[in-house]
Amino acid sequence: MDLPSKRSTKRMLSDAEQEGDFLNYAKESTDTEYKKDPLIDHKRIKRVSSYISQVLNIEQMRALISELRKIDVVYAVMAKVQFDTCLRLNELITYFPHTSNTLNPKFMSWGEMYTKDIRHQTLKFIGKGQIEREIDVDIQTMKLISDKYLTEKVPNSDITIYADRKLKFQTTYLSTKAGKDSHYKIDSDILWIKDDGTPISKNMYQKAFRDARKALYQKEILPLNINVRPHAMRHTGASLRLVKYRQETGIDIHIDNDGDIHAFLQGLLGHEKLSTTHKYIRTVRNQAFSNLALKTIIRNEDLWVDEMATNTTLRKGVESIRAKK
């Protein structure tokens, strides 16, 4: 029996395929060539038309942050920063700085922003396709990084979490084979560091999400149809900002208005394809976000509620702030 030969054709890479390719950020195209079997009815193959399965509500976000903190506080902080900024995984790990650097010579800490009464600052980075992009980073995002990671003390110690990890990075990690083979130097500007001094990699961050997801499934906090992974922070953040965009502009989130919506999301996410905008439109139209969409950036104390239960000082401070509103 003779079967027809497969034909070469192109398709767009999925989000998972793009994240799994470490050279993805050096590529200008997100298309790939594959062999299409003419005997298969490809019209019946279901394609992802929205990001509903990767958008979390506030209870799920709170539970995720809690599970990530159990693994390592750095992962919880990174997840919240990714949600706030909508950065891709590689952009978050590679380009979010600890201090000012060549790409961001005027980048400020939370303390500097607070002193100068600056609510947002610009972050420049190299995005997909090696295109230089910039976004605004909110002062509350910088405060989270400072309070929960940079200035938080190691238990039963006067040394901060970040200082302890940076010291281990310089004295331990750089002397290992992995450290010697890496591009890091003793004076490298590095923000995200594991508790043993190892710089956070994409694989480490992804594994933390897998472990947290497994725990949430076992506790039945997360339904099996929700796929929690790092990119879900970007999808969740972007979807909620689209809801906020509707509230502030009055523009209906509909395919008929895809031009204005695409311009908004393109500035936020940096994507080029209108089909990606259409997925976000379908997500917003089909998902009830309730109180999660009331603020563009979820208050930090809302996600660290488990800490408020045990930290008397923090709880009193939050209650005092709320009483003044």
pLDDT for 158-167, tens place per residue? Answer: 999 999 999 9
CATH of the domain at 101: 1.10.443.10
Query: Does any domain span residue 1?
Result: no
Q: Clarify whether residues 69 and 213 are in a common domain.
A: yes
309 assigned to some structural domain: no
215 and 242 belong to one structural domain: yes
The confidence band for 150, taking pLDDT boundaries of 50, 70 and 90, is very high
pLDDT digits (tens, 9 = 90+) for 28-60: 555 666 566 665 554 444 455 777 778 888 888
Residues 39 and 181 in one domain: no
The mean-pLDDT minimum among 3-17, 50-64, 120-134, 233-247 falls in 3-17
How far is it, in rounded angstroms, from Cα 121 to Cα 146? Answer: 15
Tell whether 39 and 73 lie within a shared domain: no
Question: Do 192 and 216 belong to one domain?
Answer: yes
CA distance 258 to 280: 10
pLDDT at 311: 54
% of the chain exceeding 90 in pLDDT: 44
Same domain, 20 and 140: no
Instruction: Note whether 13 and 73 are same-domain residues.
Output: no
Mean predicted confidence (pLDDT) in 4-15: 62
In a domain, 125, yes or no: yes
Which domain range does residue 118 map to? 52-300
CB 121 within 8 A of CB 136: yes
Report the domain count for the chain: 2
AA letter at 241: R
Average per-residue pLDDT for the chain: 81
Q: What is the 3-state secondary structure (H, E, C) of 11-80?
A: EECCHHHHHHCCCHHHCCCCEEEEEECCCCCHHHCCCCCCCHHHCCCHHHHHHHHHHHHHHCHHHHHHHH
Task: Identify whether residues 72 and 206 lie together within a single domain.
Answer: yes
Residues 181 and 222 in one domain: yes
6-25 mean pLDDT:
55
Q: Are residues 102 and 232 in the same domain?
A: yes
Do 134 and 200 reside in the same domain of the chain? yes
